[in-house]
Amino acid sequence: MLDLAIFGQHLLNGVLIGCAYALIAIGLTMIFGVMNIANFAHGEFYMMGGFLAFYLISLLKVNYFLALPLAVLLVMVLALVIQQTVFKRLREAPMMTTTLVTIGLSILLEQVAHLLWGPQPQVIPNPFPTKPLSFFGIYTTPLYLFSMAVTAALILLGHVLIQRTRMGKAMRATFQNKEAAALVGVRIDRIYMYAFTFGAALAAAAGAVLGGFIPVEPTMGGVATLKAFVVVILGGMGSFVGAIVGGLLLGLAEGLGAGYFSTGWKDAIGFFAVILLLLFRPEGLFKRA
Amino acid sequence: MSDSTRFALATGLALLALLAVPWIVRNDYYLHLFIVSLIFVVVALGLNLIVGYVGQLSLAHAAFFALGAYVSALLFLKLKWSMWIGLPAAALLTGIAAFALGWVILRVRGHRFVIITVAFSEIMKLVATNWVDLTRGFMGLPGLQIPALSLPGLGAIDVSSKERFYYVVLAAAALSFYLCYRIVRSSVGRAFVLVRENEVLAESLGISAFRYCMIAFVVGAALAGAAGALYGHYVGFVSPDLFNFSYITIMLIMVILGGKGTLIGPVLGAVLFTFLPELLRDAAHYRMLIFAVILVLATLFMPRGIIFPLVEHLVPRRWRTRHVRAA
C-alpha cells in the first residue's frame, strides 16, 4: 500500500529542485532559440548566483532579502560583459566553435569561483525560523516554502515576459525567423543582449535561492548545465513551455527516484530519459511554442 | 630539398630521437611524462578521427578512455587476466560500446549529438561510482600491475620498469599513428573529409554519413579504450575521477590546438599539453584556468590550431589536410 504522506513528501522534495531546473532551462533554451548556441557555461551563472549570495550574506553581512536581488544583479552585469566580449563574436560561428568556446568559458568561470571562494561547499544562512511545519503528515520548513514561492513567481514572470510583452514577442519572432524579424524592425543585437542577460538572471536567482538547501560549490555549475540540457532536450530545443514543464517533470522524477529507489542513481534518470527520447520521439516531448 | 626527401629525413630523425629517449632522459620524472604523453598521443589520434576528420564533436571520448581502463583493470583483478589480453579486450569492448551508442546518436547532428555524448559520459560515471560491488565506487581499484610480456621464442620479458614500458607505449603510439595514417589516406579517409565538409553532397554521391561517422566513432573509441588500459596499468590505480570533465577538456585542447584534421597536429598537441602543465608547476592552482583561457582564445582566433601552422612546412604535402571546398 502506497503511503500517501511519504509519497507527498517525495513529491514536495522534487518540486523545488524542479523549479530550479525550469529556471535554468528557460535561459538555456532562450539562448539556444535566439542565438542558436548551446551554452555550456550557462550553469555557471547558477553557481555564481549562489556564491555571490553566500558572499554577500555570510561575509559582508548584507540582509538576506536584499542580498538575493543584489546577487542576481551582479550576475546580470557579468553576463552582459561576457555577452559583449565573447558571445558577440560567436554570432555566425559554426557549432563546433561556439560549443568549444562555451566549454572553455564554463571552466574559466568555475576556476575563478574556485580561486575567489575556495573548493569547500558553503551553505547560505537561513533567515527564517528552522522549526519544521507539518501539513497532513508532510514536513517542510518556512525557508523551503519561501524558496518555492520565489522560484514559482520567477517562472511565472519569465512566462509573462516572453508571452505577453513586446520584448518577448520580438524575442519569439527572432527565434522563428531572424531575417524576417530584422526586416520588420526588431533590433537583433538588442534581443541577443536581453535574452542572454535575462536567462543568466533566472539561473542566478535559482542558485541564490537554492543555496540555502544545496551547498554552493564551484563544480555545481557543470552539473546544473547538464541537467538543464536534459530538460531542454526533453521539452524540445527552443521551447519555453517545454523548458518549464520539462524542468518540473525532471525535478519530480528525481524526487521520487531518490525517495523510492536510490539517491546515488537519481542523477541518471534524466540522462537515460534523453537517450530513450532520442530513440523513440526525437522531436521532443512537446511541440514547440 | 624535395618533398619526399624532407619527409624521409624528418621521419627518420623523429624515430631515432624517440627510440633514444630512455638513454637521453635519465630523469625518472621526465621519462614518466614521456610515457604519459605517448599514451595521450593514442587518445588524441582517436579523438581526431571523430572531431577532426568526420567533424562530430564527441565529448564521450574521456568516458571511453575511462571505460577501457576499468575493463582492463577488472579483468586483471577479478579474472586474473594479463594486461596483454586485457588491452585488446578493453579496445574491443569500448569499440562495441561506441557502436551501441553511435547507433543511437549518430542519427542526430549538432547540439543534440554533443549533449547526448555528455549524458552518456555522466551515466558511465554514475555506474563507476554507484556499482560499488564491482568497481568499489569512489575508492577505485588499486593494485594494477604491468605483467611480463611473453613472446613466442623469446620467453617472458619484464617490461614493468619505466625504461622498458616506454617502448611499449611507443609501440602503441606508433601503431595507432600507422592505423590512422592508413585510414586517412584511404578512400575511407576521403569519405570522412567529404562528410565533414558537405554531408548533403556526400549522401548524394552514395556515401553514407552514418556509416563513415560510425567507423570514425568506433575506431576512435577503441583507441581511447586501449590507451585507457595502458594508463590504468601504468598508474596502477583506476577511479571514477577518470570521468571528470577536465579529461575531455584536455583531450580536446590537444586535438584542436595541435591542429584538428591533420595527422601530426594532435600528436604534437598531446606531447605539448602533457609537458606544458608540468613546466607551469609553480602555477598549479591556475592550470585549468590557463587551459580554459587558451581554449577560448585559440578557438576564437586560431581555428587551425597553434602547433600545426608552425610545423606545416616540415610536413610533406600528402600529410596535410585535404580541404574539400564546400559547395
Phi/psi of residue B145, nearest 5 degrees? -130, 165
Residue A286 has pLDDT above 70, yes or no: no
SS3 B317: helix
Least confident of A251-265, B75-89, B130-144: B130-144
Average pLDDT, chain B: 82
- Cβ within 8 Å, pair B55-A262: no
Span A211-239, pLDDT tens digits: 888 888 888 888 899 899 989 888 877 78
The residues that bridge with B131 in the sheet, in sequence order, are: none
**For range B293-298, the mean pLDDT:** 87
Residue A288 has pLDDT above 60, yes or no: no
10 Å Cβ neighbour count for A138? 17
Kindly state whether residue B59 falls inside one of the protein's structural domains: yes
| Angstroms from A273 CA to nearest CA on chain B | 10
Residue A59 has pLDDT above 50, yes or no: yes
Q: Which pLDDT belongs to residue A201?
A: 94
Kindly state whether residue B268 falls inside one of the protein's structural domains: no
Nearest CA in chain B to A38: B111
| Angstroms from A287 CA to nearest CA on chain B | 17
Residues of B in contact with A34 (CB under 8 A): none
Number of domains in chain B: 1
**For range A261-270, the mean pLDDT:** 80
Report DSSP letters for chain A, one per residue.
---HHHHHHHHHHHHHHHHHHHHHHHHHHHHHHHH----TTHHHHHHHHHHHHHIIIIIS---HHHHHHHHHHHHHHHHHHHHHHTGGGGTT--HHHHHHHHHHHHHHHHHHHHHHH-SS-B-PPP-S--PPEEETTEEE-HHHHHHHHHHHHHHHHHHHHHHHSHHHHHHHHHHH-HHHHHHTT--HHHHHHHHHHHHHHHHHHHHHHHTTTSPB-TTHHHHHHHHHHHHHHHH-TT-HHHHHHHHHHHHHHHHHHHHHT-TTTTTHHHHHHHHHHHHH-TT-SS---
Q: Quick one: cell of B42?
A: 593514442
Residues of A in contact with B247 (CB under 8 A): none
Kindly state whether residue B57 falls inside one of the protein's structural domains: yes
Span B55-109, pLDDT tens digits: 888 999 999 999 999 998 888 877 777 777 888 888 899 999 999 999 888 887 8
| Angstroms from B247 CA to nearest CA on chain A | 12
Give the closest residue to A51 by CA, choosing from A197, A207, A161.
Answer: A207
**Residue A108 exposed, middle or buried by CB count within 10 Å (0-12, 13-18, 19+):** buried
Residue A274 has pLDDT above 90, yes or no: no
Q: Quick one: cell of B104?
A: 543511437
pLDDT band for position B317 (cuts 50, 70, 90): low
Report DSSP letters for B131-199, one per residue.
-HHHH-GGG-EE----PPEEETTTEEE---SHHHHHHHHHHHHHHHHHHHHHHHHSHHHHHHHHHHH-H
- B301 — contact with chain A (CB < 8 Å)? no
pLDDT band for position B327 (cuts 50, 70, 90): very low
Kindly state whether residue B106 falls inside one of the protein's structural domains: yes
**For range B169-189, the mean pLDDT:** 88
Least confident of A4-8, A86-90, B34-38: A4-8
Q: Which pLDDT belongs to residue A50?
A: 92
- B73 — contact with chain A (CB < 8 Å)? no
Residue B131 has pLDDT above 60, yes or no: yes
Among A123-132, B157-166, B197-206, B279-288, the range of highest mean pLDDT? B197-206
Query: Which of B51, B123, B289 is the closest to A111 by Cβ?
Result: B289
Nearest CA in chain B to A39: B111
Q: How far, in Å, CA of B145 to CA of B16, rounded? A: 29
| Angstroms from A14 CA to nearest CA on chain B | 20
Instruction: Report which of residues A162 and A282 the model is more confident about.
Output: A162
Among A269-283, B32-46, B187-201, B295-309, the range of highest mean pLDDT? B32-46
Q: Which pLDDT belongs to residue B155?
A: 64
- B280 — contact with chain A (CB < 8 Å)? no
Q: Which pLDDT belongs to residue B321?
A: 52
Kindly state whether residue B302 falls inside one of the protein's structural domains: no
Domain residues for the domain of B180 are: 3-242
- Cβ within 8 Å, pair A226-B292: no
Residue B117 has pLDDT above 50, yes or no: yes
Q: Which of A29, A108, A266, A279 to mutate to test the interface with B (most CBs of B within 10 A)?
A: A108
Average pLDDT, chain A: 86
Break chain A into its structural domains and give their ranges: 16-120+137-218
**For range A118-145, the mean pLDDT:** 81
Give the closest residue to B256 by CA, choosing from B33, B55, B26.
Answer: B55
Residue B175 has pLDDT above 70, yes or no: yes
- Cβ within 8 Å, pair B126-A267: yes
Residues of B in contact with A99 (CB under 8 A): 57, 111, 114
| Angstroms from B304 CA to nearest CA on chain A | 11
How many residues make up chain A in this entry? 289
**For range A67-82, the mean pLDDT:** 93
Least confident of B121-135, B260-274, B308-322: B308-322
Query: Which of B55, B292, B299 is the closest to A111 by Cβ?
Result: B292
**For range A172-190, the mean pLDDT:** 85
pLDDT band for position A202 (cuts 50, 70, 90): very high
Kindly state whether residue B126 falls inside one of the protein's structural domains: yes
Q: Which pLDDT belongs to residue B324?
A: 42
- B300 — contact with chain A (CB < 8 Å)? yes
Q: How far, in Å, CA of A105 to CA of A85, rounded? A: 12
Instruction: Report which of residues B312 and A8 the model is more confident about.
Output: A8
| Angstroms from A112 CA to nearest CA on chain B | 8
Q: Which pLDDT belongs to residue B78?
A: 76
Among A194-208, B148-162, B179-193, B253-267, the range of highest mean pLDDT? A194-208
pLDDT band for position B134 (cuts 50, 70, 90): confident
- Cβ within 8 Å, pair A274-B115: yes
Query: Which of A108, A226, A233 is the closest to B296 by Cβ?
Result: A108
Residue B325 has pLDDT above 50, yes or no: no
Least confident of A14-28, A80-94, B253-267, B278-292: B278-292
Span B192-246, pLDDT tens digits: 888 888 888 888 888 888 888 899 999 999 999 999 999 988 888 888 888 888 8
Q: Which pLDDT belongs to residue A289?
A: 41
Kindly state whether residue B218 falls inside one of the protein's structural domains: yes
Least confident of A184-188, A205-209, B157-161, B320-324: B320-324
Query: Which residues 150-169 on chain B approach chain A with CB closer than 8 angstroms?
Result: none
pLDDT band for position B286 (cuts 50, 70, 90): confident
Q: Which pLDDT belongs to residue B316?
A: 58
Q: Which of B103, B108, B118, B243 to mutate to test the interface with A (most CBs of A within 10 A)?
A: B118
Query: Percent of chain B, pLDDT > 70?
Result: 90
Kindly state whether residue B118 falls inside one of the protein's structural domains: yes
Q: How far, in Å, CA of A246 to CA of A266, rounded? A: 16
- Cβ within 8 Å, pair A86-B130: no
Query: Percent of chain A, pLDDT > 90?
Result: 23
- Cβ within 8 Å, pair B299-A101: yes
**Inter-CA distances, A175 with A31, A171, A188, B18, B57, Å:** 10, 6, 10, 54, 24
**For range B245-268, the mean pLDDT:** 85
Nearest CA in chain B to A225: B115
pLDDT band for position B318 (cuts 50, 70, 90): low
Instruction: Report which of residues B280 and B316 the model is more confident about.
Output: B280
